[in-house]
Chain A
Amino acid sequence: MNLNNILPYKKQTLKSFFSFEFTTANVVMFLVSIALVTAMFYGIGVYLAEGHHAYGVTRDHAWGLLIAMYVFFVVSSTGLCIMSSIGHVFNIEAFKIIGKRAIVGAIIMILVGFSVIAFEIGHPVRMVIYNILTPGLTSAIWWMGTLYGMYLFFIILEFFFLNNNNHKYSTIFGLAGLVVGLAAHSNLGAVFGFLVARPFANGPFFPLYFILSAMVTGSYLLFLMYGWRYKMKFPPEVETFLYTLAKVLGLLLAVLIFFEIWRMLTAIYGNMPERADVAMHTLTSANFLVGEVLLGMLIPFAIIIYSKGKAAKALVYASITGMVGIFWMRYDLVHDTQLAHMMPLKIKEYAVTTPFVEYTPTLVEWMISLGALGLAVMMYYAADKFFDLDHKSEESH
């Protein structure tokens, strides 16, 4: 049996696999990716030797950068999945061109997310066993994990059928992937939202916000993927698509900003201890103001408004700041949730109390987290080499 019959792929020799056009951008990308992946493996090595002591996590800040990065990747994955579904599943014309590239992106993102969290969860193998043997059905993490597992399975099938030009099954699995992905994703929000102990996270906000911000993320990523693919010289149908995407993104950002404002207002004026003070702390932090708000929302939003959505190039660049902003959004999500001391008096004698729990990621955490970006790029490169991800093939059916 020939694999190519089941999953058509482009044959590659070693040489052809590693050959690419030697433009500055490509070379830089190549070197950066290699460096990132090397850093990641080095970081993993240190972690294997020292365990969580290699990280900056503590008892009262048990979740660190890796969790943030995990969230970053799975949100990206869901975002790509949702955005691709717009055209593919819901038959919206302008979006039809994005199908395969986005799904591959979604698969890569979630795989990378899983590989990051494997180095955060103490016993990943045991996790697989007991997730099945003794499922914790009241646990948002259990649902999130299980659903994301299924989601991955579905979108792989979706990609498989897309690649085989089997429209019917790709739509079915695309829909399944979307539904399960949305469920998994809102459960990821619920992982935080269900934390009654953490008033700042607790409530219905996160599950909704997660879907919304996933779509924003998906949009940014599409801009980036297409920007890179066409080296900023977009064919007309792509340009049309990007203009539409910009409008959608503008709308999404407006809603997100609106959401954010109300979240902060209710948090601060709700006068609830451990919520208001945390919100104030967040509001005054550079992470939030510069990272989340300025880079993640305002700059892209301003460009969309300013260009009335007709500046595809600018938007590709804005998507870079957008993704940096999205990173800080994930970081803040994890960090801010843990800001309040649960038992402020649980300290050693002769130790100064900090008003908030402090956390600084270690170099090892940065290596694994950012290194994973390199991994994502490499996987994308490989996918691009092996599969035909452009929409032309789609058009042909």
Chain B
Amino acid sequence: MKTEISRRRFLQGSAALTVVAVSGAATALIEKEEHDKVASFGLRKTQWSDKLTEVPTLCEMCVNKCAAIARVEDGVITKLNPNPLFPKSRNMLCARGNAGIQALEDPDRLKYPLIRVGKRGEGKFKRVTWDEAYEHIKNKMVKILDEEKDNRSTIGYCAGEGMAEHTYVSFMQDKIGSSNFVNHATICLTTTIAGYTLTLGGYGQADLENAEYVIMAGANRAEAIVTPDTMDMFKRTKGRGAKLVVIDPRFTNTASHADKWLPIEVGTDLAFVLALTHVAISEGLYNKKFTQENMSDFEAYKKHILDKNYTPEWAEKITGIKANEIREVARDFMAHAPRSIYYQGRRTAWSFQDFQVRRAQAIFTAMGGGVDKKGGILFGKKLELGKHEIPSPSYFNAEPRIEKDKAAVVGTSGSWIAWRNTIIDGTAPYPVRAFFAYKQNPMLSVPNTSKTRQMLEKMDLVVVIDTMPSDTVMMADVVLPESHYLEREDPVKTFGGSEPSIALRKKVVDAKYDTKPVIEMMRELGEKLAKPLFEISKKYDEELQELIEDAQDEGGEEKVYKQEGYDLAEGYKHSQETINHHMVTSVYGEEAWKTLREKGIFYPDMDKYFKKKSVNTYQYYPEHKKSYSVIKGELDVEPYHDTCVDTKEIGVLKKEFRTATSKIACALYNLEKKKGVDAMPTWREELYTPTPQGRFRFITGRHGQFTQSGTSNNALLLDLMDENYLWINKRVAQEKGINFGDNIEVKSSIGAIQIKAYPTEKIGPNVVFFIHGFGAESSELTLAHHKGANDNMIIEDHYEKSFGSAAMHETIVDIRRV
């Protein structure tokens, strides 16, 4: 790639200017210089020519998928504006959403398929045609699967969250047939999804528009933006309707909106929640009617809490939060219940007890009655879409996941860290020899970067589908460039909640380079792979051999190939637009489809319900049409999930481990019996290591203007903040003679990084923090390259043992000035 990718920056900014004649001495030569220095692509002012069109689309700069309207002029997007019609994004685009144009115009983008020519990781690639790329993949796969006797699971793959994620996953999972999938769940939200789902029946949606009391523990909604939560919450804080308690070792932007900020010892949230529960129980503050009607084993839970003596005084010693503060929070919470929420949180890959923390939070919220009620945790409704079936063959020789026993419950999306470590530590029952990555950057996203590198180095084939030359792309053998989200139509998506709707990402502009949306890659790769891989199955798969035998009379092999789904391109043959059309019209008719394409959003009666309320606010549904309480009688719903976790997986989870009552589950005896996971939230001393004196616990997290590692090369965003800094307590810094901007080495047992210091009182004396996503190694990322530090170089690869979720805040580090 060194020679292939041109580094030239585009100078579009200048085209848009009212041209001012050069007068006097000061001008002429400067302009050129300045443009070379400052990246100014993607900053074109709208000219409002006749050619201007406005195209609705959806943002994909992060997980939220806010609705946007693109102004397009001469095939160039000049501005992205919020689309007011979408209830989930409430007429907003955040900084990153605005920076979507920069991502599209970024001269560093992947522009055509590449095949590695140097050593792996060296970053030398040559440009190839799509067919050459597919051919290369095919040859490798045929060889591997032949050698592995059609054990499809020898092909590992990962995916980051995205609207087209399912297209790719279904191909790898259902068509190729591998069980070895990992995605962001276990480095992100598995524990809270599992915790709330197994307790309440669903993860739900916190009704922050109506809640009166909210506890946000390590959920930084002012910076880690989640819609509509972020918008709903902060219009009502600071004495304007909702009390907010923030539990976070750092003083975040969210804390600046809090009524109370309680810095907690990292990793001790469970003790805090148990103590809150103890207060509510011992003082009899909970909602007796609700607990009786809707909660199972509540009496046992009460006894458990009291027996264990989880008093505020007990918790104070562990959490560092004063007992009287704990009492006050518990009382206030219950006083405002049922409009009180212990917010679920999202990235909950923190520590070893995360799952039980979330269980305890869910039970505590339920004790106030704030479940399936206005102002509490809602399940809402989801608008059904038509089905798009993809027939899938079953491969007799495909083995189960390699790390299935590394945690109590390992779902279909695996445990990232356990999975990777299993590959490199040689404990895998069979080799994983190929690795596909789609829209994920595990080199930066998964704790312990050097182990990820080792894992990739072991592979016979690494294929990466991305838009940018990420650190993971640098490790690839074959790079397949995906079209940017503004250049493609993606699967239509339904967004549940109290105000459900359907939203569509329509292609806004034509692909600028030789890139494709992933559905086309799957189709073409499917066509390429189908026959050769079928041959291999025929050779090794005894079931298939029998099937063919049995079908001898009615067309034999050809029929089996067709009917059993061995045609790997099947399911991807139609264009995304055709598929979307079918999925919408089959349920809502042509009119709905028309609306969706014109406006980007559809829900029944939108034309009647949608109203502008003020210069900034809109009504989506009239109050009485909002889906606040959806559970009729007993709690038995298929609650809405908008959590990037497979609903099937959640279904299985619930069926297997919840009690038969379908009530809110205080005790999960099934889980205890089958998997040895505590039935009720219990503080486990052995799972908590206090931070040793003089050392620091490292924590990680978000920044409002960056999305993980995916936006680190974005010129507009870097203009707001150009690298990450190490938060360290001011007084501790002073003692160590550390000043702002000093270069600091942060060292853990697995590695060391260097970063600039930011002494601040916003963090405690035994914790250090820096923002995740910086420190890219890839030299093709002109702006991100070596900017700041990569936290996963130092975060140790711990994971908790119930779901295999990363425990990112269990790393102890030392720091010194360099």
Q: Chain A: residues with CB nearer than 8 A to chain B?
A: 47-53, 118-119, 121-127, 129, 348-350, 352
Least CB separation from B34: chain A residue: A53
Indicate if the CB atoms of B741 and A122 lie closer than 8 Å.
no
Kindly state the separation between the CA atoms of A122 and B22 in the bound complex, as whole angstroms. Answer: 10
Indicate if the CB atoms of A121 and B720 lie closer than 8 Å.
no
Contacting B721 at CB < 8 Å: which of A52, A119, A350? A350
Kindly state the separation between the CA atoms of A48 and B23 in the bound complex, as whole angstroms. Answer: 12
Indicate if the CB atoms of B26 and A49 lie closer than 8 Å.
no
Indicate if the CB atoms of B29 and A119 lie closer than 8 Å.
no
Kindly state the separation between the CA atoms of A126 and B26 in the bound complex, as whole angstroms. Answer: 11
Which of A47, A118, A125, A350 has the most B CB atoms < 10 Å from its CB? A350
Interface contacts (Cβ under 8 Å), in number, total 49
Contacting A125 at CB < 8 Å: which of B23, B29, B33? B23
**Inter-chain contacts of B725 with A (CB < 8 A):** 350
Indicate if the CB atoms of A51 and B721 lie closer than 8 Å.
no
Kindly state the separation between the CA atoms of A52 and B29 in the bound complex, as whole angstroms. Answer: 11
Determine whether B758 belongs to the interface, using a CB cutoff of 8 Å to chain A: yes
Q: Contacts A50-B30, A350-B725 given: A126-B720 contact, CB under 8 Å?
A: no
Indicate if the CB atoms of A51 and B23 lie closer than 8 Å.
no
Can you name 6 extra interface pairs (CB under 8 A) apart from A50-B30, A51-B29, A53-B30?
Answer: A48-B26, A50-B33, A119-B26, A122-B24, A348-B721, A352-B741
Kindly state the separation between the CA atoms of A61 and B413 in the bound complex, as whole angstroms. Answer: 56
Kindly state the separation between the CA atoms of A7 and B333 in the bound complex, as whole angstroms. Answer: 95
Kindly state the separation between the CA atoms of A352 and B733 in the bound complex, as whole angstroms. Answer: 15
Least CB separation from B23: chain A residue: A126
Determine whether B25 belongs to the interface, using a CB cutoff of 8 Å to chain A: yes
**Inter-chain contacts of A50 with B (CB < 8 A):** 29-30, 33
Determine whether B27 belongs to the interface, using a CB cutoff of 8 Å to chain A: yes
Contacting A350 at CB < 8 Å: which of B24, B29, B33, B758? B758
Q: Chain B: residues with CB nearer than 8 A to chain A?
A: 23-27, 29-30, 33-34, 720-721, 725, 740-741, 758
Contacting B29 at CB < 8 Å: which of A48, A121, A124? A48
Kindly state the separation between the CA atoms of A47 and B28 in the bound complex, as whole angstroms. Answer: 11
Report the minimal beta-carbon distance from A396 to chain B, rounded to whole angstroms: 45
Least CB separation from A120: chain B residue: B26
Q: Contacts A124-B25, A352-B740 given: A51-B720 contact, CB under 8 Å?
A: no
Least CB separation from A123: chain B residue: B24
**Inter-chain contacts of B23 with A (CB < 8 A):** 123, 125-126, 129
The 3 tightest CB contacts between A and B, nearest first, are A51-B30, A123-B24, A126-B23
Indicate if the CB atoms of A51 and B741 lie closer than 8 Å.
no
Least CB separation from A49: chain B residue: B29
Indicate if the CB atoms of A121 and B24 lie closer than 8 Å.
yes
**Inter-chain contacts of B25 with A (CB < 8 A):** 47-48, 118-119, 124
Kindly state the separation between the CA atoms of A50 and B24 in the bound complex, as whole angstroms. Answer: 14
**Inter-chain contacts of B721 with A (CB < 8 A):** 348-350
Q: Contacts A350-B721, A350-B758 given: A126-B24 contact, CB under 8 Å?
A: yes
Sample 13 A-B pairs with CB under 8 A, ordered by A number: A47-B25, A48-B26, A49-B29, A50-B29, A50-B30, A53-B34, A119-B26, A123-B23, A123-B27, A129-B23, A348-B721, A349-B720, A350-B725
Indicate if the CB atoms of A51 and B24 lie closer than 8 Å.
no
Kindly state the separation between the CA atoms of A119 and B24 in the bound complex, as whole angstroms. Answer: 9
Report the minimal beta-carbon distance from B165 to chain A, rounded to whole angstroms: 32
Kindly state the separation between the CA atoms of A369 and B24 in the bound complex, as whole angstroms. Answer: 19
Report the minimal beta-carbon distance from A126 to chain B, rounded to whole angstroms: 4
Indicate if the CB atoms of A122 and B720 lie closer than 8 Å.
no
Least CB separation from A126: chain B residue: B23
**Inter-chain contacts of A124 with B (CB < 8 A):** 24-25
Least CB separation from A44: chain B residue: B25
**Inter-chain contacts of A53 with B (CB < 8 A):** 30, 33-34
**Inter-chain contacts of A122 with B (CB < 8 A):** 24, 26-27
Kindly state the separation between the CA atoms of A286 and B270 in the bound complex, as whole angstroms. Answer: 59
Which of B30, B34, B740 has the most A CB atoms < 10 Å from its CB? B30
**Inter-chain contacts of B27 with A (CB < 8 A):** 51, 122-123
Kindly state the separation between the CA atoms of A51 and B33 in the bound complex, as whole angstroms. Answer: 10
Report the minimal beta-carbon distance from B720 to chain A, rounded to whole angstroms: 7
Report the minimal beta-carbon distance from B789 to chain A, rounded to whole angstroms: 13
**Inter-chain contacts of B758 with A (CB < 8 A):** 350
Least CB separation from B756: chain A residue: A350
Kindly state the separation between the CA atoms of A299 and B445 in the bound complex, as whole angstroms. Answer: 68
Kindly state the separation between the CA atoms of A209 and B720 in the bound complex, as whole angstroms. Answer: 43
Report the minimal beta-carbon distance from A260 to chain B, rounded to whole angstroms: 36
Kindly state the separation between the CA atoms of A349 and B762 in the bound complex, as whole angstroms. Answer: 14
Q: Contacts A350-B725, A350-B758, A352-B741 given: A52-B720 contact, CB under 8 Å?
A: no
Kindly state the separation between the CA atoms of A123 and B25 in the bound complex, as whole angstroms. Answer: 7
**Inter-chain contacts of B29 with A (CB < 8 A):** 48-51
Report the minimal beta-carbon distance from B252 to chain A, rounded to whole angstroms: 13
Kindly state the separation between the CA atoms of A323 and B640 in the bound complex, as whole angstroms. Answer: 80
Least CB separation from A51: chain B residue: B30
Least CB separation from B705: chain A residue: A349
Kindly state the separation between the CA atoms of A348 and B740 in the bound complex, as whole angstroms. Answer: 14
Kindly state the separation between the CA atoms of A121 and B24 in the bound complex, as whole angstroms. Answer: 9
Report the minimal beta-carbon distance from A360 to chain B, rounded to whole angstroms: 18
Least CB separation from A48: chain B residue: B25
Q: Contacts A348-B721, A349-B720, A350-B721 given: A51-B740 contact, CB under 8 Å?
A: no
Kindly state the separation between the CA atoms of A108 and B486 in the bound complex, as whole angstroms. Answer: 63
Kindly state the separation between the CA atoms of A49 and B25 in the bound complex, as whole angstroms. Answer: 9
Report the minimal beta-carbon distance from B36 to chain A, rounded to whole angstroms: 12
Kindly state the separation between the CA atoms of A122 and B31 in the bound complex, as whole angstroms. Answer: 13
Report the minimal beta-carbon distance from A282 to chain B, rounded to whole angstroms: 26
Indicate if the CB atoms of A123 and B720 lie closer than 8 Å.
no
Report the minimal beta-carbon distance from B356 to chain A, rounded to whole angstroms: 36
Report the minimal beta-carbon distance from B741 to chain A, rounded to whole angstroms: 7
**Inter-chain contacts of A52 with B (CB < 8 A):** 26
Least CB separation from A54: chain B residue: B30
Report the minimal beta-carbon distance from B44 to chain A, rounded to whole angstroms: 23
**Inter-chain contacts of A350 with B (CB < 8 A):** 721, 725, 758
Least CB separation from A52: chain B residue: B26
Report the minimal beta-carbon distance from B209 to chain A, rounded to whole angstroms: 29
Report the minimal beta-carbon distance from B750 to chain A, rounded to whole angstroms: 26
**Inter-chain contacts of B34 with A (CB < 8 A):** 53
**Inter-chain contacts of A129 with B (CB < 8 A):** 23
Kindly state the separation between the CA atoms of A50 and B28 in the bound complex, as whole angstroms. Answer: 9
Kindly state the separation between the CA atoms of A350 and B774 in the bound complex, as whole angstroms. Answer: 15
Report the minimal beta-carbon distance from B739 to chain A, rounded to whole angstroms: 9
Report the minimal beta-carbon distance from B141 to chain A, rounded to whole angstroms: 47
Kindly state the separation between the CA atoms of A349 and B33 in the bound complex, as whole angstroms. Answer: 26
